[in-house]
Amino acid sequence: MSPAALPSRARVVVIGGGVIGTSVAYHLAQAGETDVVLLERDRLTSGTTWHAAGLMTCFGSFSETSTRLRLYSRDLYGRLEAETGQSTGFKPVGLVEAAADRDRLEEYRRVATFQRRLGLEVEEVSPAEMAELFPLARTDDLVGGFHVPGDGRVNPVDLTMALAKGARAHGVRVVEGVRVEQVVTRPRGVVEEVTGVVTDRGTIECDVVVNAAGMWARELAAQNGVVVPNQAAEHYYLVTEPIDGMSPDAPVFEDPASYGYYREEGGGMMVGLFEPEAAAWKVEGIPRDFSFGTLPPDTDRVGPFLEKAMARVPVVETAGIRTFFCGPESFMPDLSPGVGEAPGIHGYFVCAGLNSVGILSAGGLGRILAHWVVSGRPDVDVTGFDVARFRDHQLLPEHRRARTAEVLGTVYAAHTPGVQLSTSRGVLRSALHDRVVAGGGYLRDVSGWDAAAWYAGPGETPSAEPTWGRAPWFEHWEAEHRAVREAAGLFDMSFMARFAVRGPDALAVLDRMSAGDLSQDGRITYTQWLAEDGGVVADLTVTRLAADDLLVVASDTQHEQVRGMLRRGLGDADATVTDVTHDVAMLSLQGPASRSVLETVAPHYDWSDDAFPFRAAQRVEIAGTELLAVRITYVGELGWELYVPVDAATTLWDLLLEHGGPHGLRPTGLAALGSLRLEKGYRDFGHDLDNTDDVWGAGLGFAVALDKPGGFVGREATVAAKERGTPRHRVVSVVVEDPEPLLFHGEVLLRDGEPVGDLRAGSYGWTVGGAVGLAGVAHPEGVGADWLRAGTWEVDVAGTRYPARVTLRPPYDPSSARVRG
């Protein structure tokens, strides 16, 4: 298409002609949206797609969304040639995944069980069987492996051309040699909406933009205040001269412990590298004219890692090297892509930061994003991918440089429970940080905050080794858990997101957004925000201090999503939203002795049930500071949340611990928070609750006020779902009857020997005497209490099945008598 033919308008403009952009365009056309223009600044595949290794592997994920999108991609690549006449180079030669140690074998057994339930054909194989499948590799020192016969490889350039050809066939215009300079927006209430893109060849008006600009996505998005913190890093592979015995039908072989992946290439072998100590590239910004370039290899840095990778296949050490390649790949700080609509701009979509798995993800992500654009909603769980999860500090150069080098190194690392990233820690800091450290808090990263997982005790230096089993620190965890059940615990919850919504229209806006009842002053409401189709999009509390003064509190992972939804919900209303997260500390005092502790530090107030009932919110003064006390719990006990100005937080913390000591109060961390809330069956959005759940399936119907005046967003769909009867998909509580095994996430749940669901979140229930969790289960005729009782239930933990109790009601205090004090 010549420059003169550049259209003046299109409904959708896709920016970027790599495998992601072409997949989005292809799937938009498949979904019936053909008024689409794809703009590529140079030629299709320039940037990173052209030099991708072309692996099409599905094994290795505990995410249902990731697994299904990869399976979809694999299927698409196998049938795209028949549709378009353009080969994709897809070859299902199989995958062999090596486990070099017991931790990896445990992880892969759990993954294999999880992914089999979703349709992946994966089998465990012995080292001897691995040698038969890939004879050139040493396997005698491996402890096991896994074989996926349907996985394989694809030609990235051919695949991209096939997607582009398929898009064109349905009317999409693909234009190369056009550089997008800016996305244009205009005000829409307190947010913005897309109106077009400015290119070096003119402006195109549009309603929707998809930023699929790869390495350049961050800089393009930043022009409009959208946070996409992807960063390019060096990525290496070599290709040998032809090797005897290297069959073109040989499977892909991966040995993460040796940092390498291996496949046939031109009669020789490609040896790819994911080294544990990586290097970011061009942190200051990617050159605009970089297209099909390579990077000078840092042989001093990667040499030792490359030697270990080559040693797994000794024949490589004596083969001639045809190519030693270094090129950029784009990584996100949490190793998950950024997908979806920007929280502050209507019509601005992103699909970027693919973490070196863009080829195998492209088909599925293109389908997901196209559905999102066309329908206005994703049809899969996107809580781990949503671009709205990112925070401004993640754009800082020093953050991107350090985190990218580390996170690339985790691609092939073992994912043993307890593994943490160490870079860019404590970017956000609680006012109580020094107190937490002085108390021996073992810190873990919580969305950029350092928060205590557990406490070793004053003056102690906490330490923990990752493990799939029981660890020495479990004794601290158990003691804190039992303190909350039997006496009291004090949590620093300052990482939670807090927003003040004020103004004459504040109540009307929040009442419309909230499925719960906000009709009373001085009361906190646990509620969900729903999409029009009834799907849960946020799970939070709203405290009504007055009709024109409300406080919204959400989890740390929902911070930016909730802020974006508030801004969109306000529109032109006479109300404001203020992020007060860093102005007000949040302490949570929980346990049967919590009332006695408050009566000791503030005896001039009446903390009784009559004066301070469950869900009440009151302003009180303690130690000369006015604070907000809210009677609510996330652990299933009598308790209060205390919101105090940050400059008085340490005083309150010290006072509570000093006077609470005789009542058994102790500082308590997030490990206990997790085990306590799972015993009580309390949900956590993004973990055991996501955007594909409705309130009935999630077990949250009690929080919905169907008859409140004016209704709420999603009410009609919620009513319709209720009328359909027993949900076919449901969140249930699980307790393993054997006290020894541990649950984490993804363990498969079986009813009468048949897999029907998996654990969304797991922990150990010190009160109930076994591993505990929340699972999602499905049954075509409905998941009801009778169906649950009639079945024999088991949980598969790394290939071993254990009897379990499965219920709709929580295993701990199902009547909530303890919550009411």
- By the 8 A CB rule, do 348 and 12 touch? no
Return the structure tokens found at 248: 């073109």
Q: What is the pLDDT of residue 5?
A: 78
Residue appearing with tokens 């015993």: 679
497-674 belongs to CATH 3.30.1360.120: yes
pLDDT of 576 > 50? The answer is: yes
In 686-753, DSSP assigns E strands to 729-736, 748-751
Write the burial class of residue 650 (CB in 10 Å: 0-12 exposed, 13-18 middle, 19+ buried). Answer: middle
Q: Using an 8 Å Cβ cutoff, are 674 and 481 in contact?
A: no
Q: Cα(541)–Cα(554) distance, rounded to whole angstroms?
A: 7
Does residue 154 surpass a pLDDT of 60? yes
Q: How many CB atoms lie within 10 A of CB 474?
A: 18
Can you give the three-state secondary structure of 27-56, one letter per residue? HHHHCCCCCEEEEECCCCCCCCHHHCCCEE
45-64 pLDDT tens trace: 999 999 999 999 999 999 99
How many residues would you count in the chain? Answer: 821
Q: What is the pLDDT of residue 761?
A: 97
| All residues at 6 or more sequence positions from 89 whose CB lies less than 8 Å from its CB, including other chains | 54, 153, 154, 155, 158, 159
Topology of the domain comprising 726-821: Elongation Factor Tu (Ef-tu); domain 3 (2.40.30)
Give pTM, 2 decimals: 0.96
pLDDT in tens, 319-362: 999 999 999 999 999 999 999 999 989 999 999 999 999 999 99
Given 3-state DSSP classes, what are the helix, strand and coil percentages for the chain, each rounded to the nearest 5? 30, 30, 40
Give per-residue pLDDT as tens, 399-458: 999 999 999 999 999 999 999 999 999 899 999 999 999 999 999 999 999 999 999 999
What confidence tens digit (pLDDT) does each residue in 807-819 have?
999 999 999 999 9
Strand order from edge to edge, sheet including 95-99: 123-125, 144-148, 95-99, 252-255, 260-265, 268-273, 231-240, 321-331
Summarize the confidence of residues 792-796 as an average pLDDT.
98
468 half-sphere exposure, CB direction, 13 A CA radius: 17
Identity of residue 18: G
Amino acid type, 17: G
Average pLDDT across the chain, whole number: 97
Q: How confident is the model at residue 256 (pLDDT cuts 50, 70, 90)?
A: very high
Place of tokens 């909603």: 377
Pairwise CA distance, residues 233 & 44, whole Å: 21
Rounded to the nearest 10 degrees, the angle between the axes of helix 358-375 and helix 64-84 is: 90
> Rounded CA gap, 540 and 555, in Å?
7
DSSP string, 512-559: HHBSS---STTEEEEEEEE-TTS-EEEEEEEEEEETTEEEEEE-GGGH
> Residue 429 has what pLDDT?
94
Contact 338, 390 (CB under 8 A): yes
- The span from the CA of 747 to the CA of 767, in Å, is 21
Rounded CA separation 495/586 (Å): 8
Q: Per residue in 11-27, pLDDT tens? A: 999 999 999 999 999 99
Kindly report the number of other CB atoms within 10 A of residue 417's CB atom.
Answer: 15
What's the CA gap between 616 and 524, in Å, rounded?
Answer: 6
Half-sphere exposure of 207 (CA within 13 A, CB side): 8
pLDDT the model gives residue 2: 44
| pLDDT band at residue 1 under the 50/70/90 scheme | very low
H helix and E strand count, the chain: 19, 39
Neighbouring residues of 731: CB distance < 8 A, sequence distance ≥ 6: 683, 688, 689, 693, 697, 698, 699, 760, 774, 775, 776
Q: What is the pLDDT of residue 691?
A: 96
Q: Do residues 368 and 439 make contact, with C-beta atoms less than 8 angstroms apart?
A: no
Asked whether the beta carbons of 440 and 464 are under 8 A apart, the reply is no
E-only strand ranges, 752-807: 754-765, 770-778, 793-797, 800-807
CA pair distance 567, 576, nearest whole angstrom: 8
Give the per-residue pLDDT at 4: 44
Rg for the chain, CA atoms, rounded: 27
Between CA 133 and CA 126 the distance in angstroms is 11
Q: What is the mean pLDDT of residues 574-603?
A: 98
What's the average model confidence in pLDDT over 460-469? Answer: 97
Neighbours of 248 (CB within 10 A): 12
CA distances from residue 164 to 161, 197, 339, 354, 620 in whole angstroms, order as listed: 5, 21, 20, 19, 63
pLDDT of residue 821: 79
Q: What is the mean pLDDT of residues 715-727?
A: 97
* Per-residue pLDDT reduced to its tens digit, 475-494: 999 999 999 999 999 999 99
**Is residue 532 within 8 Å of residue 719, measured between CB atoms?**
no
CB 736 within 8 A of CB 743: yes
Q: Is the pLDDT of residue 3 over 80?
A: no
Other C-beta atoms closer than 10 Å to the C-beta of 171 total: 11
Query: How much is the pLDDT for 483?
Result: 98
**Any idea where the domains of the chain sit in the sequence?**
497-674, 726-821
- Distance between CA atoms of 230 and 274, rounded to whole angstroms? 18
Q: Which amino acid appears at position 556 of this protein?
A: D
For 706, the 3-state DSSP assignment is coil
For 60, 530, 662, 821, the CA distances from 596, given in Å and listed in that order, are 50, 38, 10, 12
Q: Is 414 exposed, middle or buried (0-12, 13-18, 19+ CB in 10 A)?
A: buried
Is residue 330 within 8 Å of 212, Cβ to Cβ? Answer: no
Whole-angstrom distance, CA of residue 327 vs CA of residue 330: 10
Q: What is the pLDDT of residues 305-320, one digit of tens each?
A: 999 999 999 999 999 9
- Specify burial of residue 186 (Cβ count, 10 A radius: 0-12, 13-18, 19+): exposed
